[in-house]
Chains A and B, each alone.
Chain A
């Protein structure tokens, strides 16, 4: 044990090394310890109080969760809502993003201001405000209502990032296409669009992922008629044994991981860091 005394380690490896390692350990335990613990729990069958590790491993809880007929419906709901909302917001936001990036028009700053307002108003307050209106128009508990909420969440993102991508395209490239006789639409489709595609893809990806994990708005507007994986997770955490929650967490994470990997493969490593800031 003499070799393991802290002072000995400190002087053997040097001050910098020890501090570096300490920071790394603290960081890793705080941010990844809980996640690793969850990763362990998905294979647990019995996990009772005094034991740090599960006393019996197995896949019993997977069978339990996957055996629920409701779950498949919930997963489908989640994917469907995310898909519809992302497509709608692409159709609505891309033209606006282009206009903001390239064209001058009156009321541009007012337009931008109204989008920032979306983010300034507390989300939960906005949801209740919309909820009151939804009751009046009978949109409460409908798929349409939930999709509207999800599209609203994507707005800022879908306008800000693609408009940045459009702005980065050199205007001469478009002009060159126009000079050789391409119409405005063709220029857009075969010059502007391909260059801006990575930025648009990032925005779409983040919107899709955001929609998958959106819980509070769906809970407020759609529950109990429209259930997504995220809203079911509330019940899982509050009412079920810990292992069920762990399995469900992993199910919730799987689409995220797949999409991130695919996007990284398609558009390269740096693609992710751009969107993180939002």
Chain B
């Protein structure tokens, strides 16, 4: 668990370990079958009945080596293809035990579906169905229930809504860029500069993840509001500095950075620790400078995590609600707030639906990178 993201992802997402084990198991079994050891059948875990056990043993001994291996390994890894072949063979010998085996095989085949069914139903009922419903509803006229583009048109024509779009994109892009640069810089510093500072900072970067969003937002507001800590500090030196961050986009960006910089740093630290020091040494040996190493060795090797971090920050901030709700002004608003208004204050569900579909499309652009990447790793 503590090996960090890279290890974690690798281990979780590809079942190569299981595959290796399976191959190893097969090798062992082949070895055992060659020496015609009756213990082979005992490796089959499904056998409880003594009589069936003997049948299987004889079957294994009689049959050629190939199907025997198939049936045993499959019983272990609970895939039933070649196993059904074995049961088929068994049905010639003893019809009753064959039926029992068949029931068991069915159980085995259905087991994964039974196990995943509750979660699957939950996702279907409360995620896929509502999203589908929203999608259909966004094309419907509220009164006549007929097909219409008006709900979408409203968001692209109304000047207030267009301001909201521009505002949101500006904030999100600024957040992503700043958080990536600062977070990555911090990670590079922590990784390559061993000192008491980096040791301390390493454990301190973890903390913001655990601070509830509302508490953090409240604390920052106390500092940046016009009568906040910054203002009071400036008065100590006789000035009267008003930060002007509240109800302004820079305040929202600042808050986003508070959350996202540690996130980027943690991901990048995990990624950097997977980077072999030898490759950097090799580059140094042939005379590459620091910048060149960064550009040619470090960046390409951590590219995958950069992609993941960017995607996460982008998606998280397009639909952010709490920060703009508390720090943002009345106009322009971020899309999350505009959506909340449509739902709660104007009670216009068709426009709510249209706006959430638009937000989804914006997010899915970046999400597709992430999902494709993730699924490729799993396989």
Q: Which residues of A contact B (CB under 8 A)?
A: 16, 20-21, 23-24, 27-28, 30-35, 37-38, 41, 49-52, 91-93, 95-96, 98-100, 102-105, 108-109, 111-126, 128-133, 148, 151-152, 155, 159-160, 163-165, 167-168, 170-172, 175, 178-179, 184, 198-199, 202, 209, 212-213, 215-216, 220, 230, 233-234, 236-238, 242, 245-246, 249, 252-253, 256, 260, 269-277
Query: Is there contact, CB below 8 Å, between A273 and B4?
Result: yes
Query: Is there contact, CB below 8 Å, between B210 and A256?
Result: yes
Query: Is there contact, CB below 8 Å, between B211 and A253?
Result: yes
Cα distance, A168 to B359, chains bound together (Å): 37
- Number of residues of chain B lying within 8 A (CB) of chain A: 109
Known: A24-B197, A152-B122. A111 touches B130 (CB 8 A): no
Sort A-B residue pairs by CB-CB distance and give the 8 closest, nearest first. Answer: A122-B319, A274-B1, A125-B356, A270-B2, A213-B212, A105-B112, A34-B219, A120-B367
Q: List 22 A-B contacts (CB under 8 A).
A: A24-B197, A27-B201, A30-B258, A31-B262, A35-B216, A95-B119, A99-B111, A109-B375, A122-B360, A122-B363, A125-B356, A168-B11, A198-B1, A220-B340, A234-B325, A237-B214, A252-B212, A253-B215, A256-B211, A273-B4, A276-B206, A277-B266
Query: Is there contact, CB below 8 Å, between A237 and B218?
Result: yes
Pick the contact of A126 from B124, B127, B198, B318 — CB < 8 Å? B127
B208 contacts across to A, CB distance below 8 A: 31
Cα distance, A274 to B219, chains bound together (Å): 27
Closest to B9 in A: A277
Query: Is there contact, CB below 8 Å, between B319 and A124?
Result: yes
Interface on chain B toward A: helix, strand, loop, or mixed SS? helix
A27 CB, min distance to chain B CBs, angstroms? 6
A245 CB, min distance to chain B CBs, angstroms? 5
> Which of A30, A105, A129, A160 counts the most B-chain CB atoms under 10 A from its CB?
A129
Cα distance, A244 to B229, chains bound together (Å): 17
B198 CB, min distance to chain A CBs, angstroms? 8
Query: Is there contact, CB below 8 Å, between B116 and A100?
Result: yes
Known: A167-B15, A270-B2. A125 touches B222 (CB 8 A): no
Query: Is there contact, CB below 8 Å, between B123 and A126?
Result: no
Cα distance, A152 to B336, chains bound together (Å): 19
Known: A202-B1, A274-B8. A23 touches B219 (CB 8 A): no
Q: Which residues of B contact A (CB under 8 A)?
A: 1-2, 4-5, 8, 11-12, 15, 17-18, 21, 42-43, 45, 76-79, 111-116, 118-120, 122-124, 126-131, 133-134, 137, 186, 189, 193, 195-198, 200-201, 204, 206-223, 227, 229, 231-233, 235-236, 258, 262, 266-267, 270, 315, 318-319, 321-322, 325-326, 336, 339-340, 342-344, 349, 352-353, 355-357, 359-360, 363-364, 367, 370-371, 374-375, 378-379
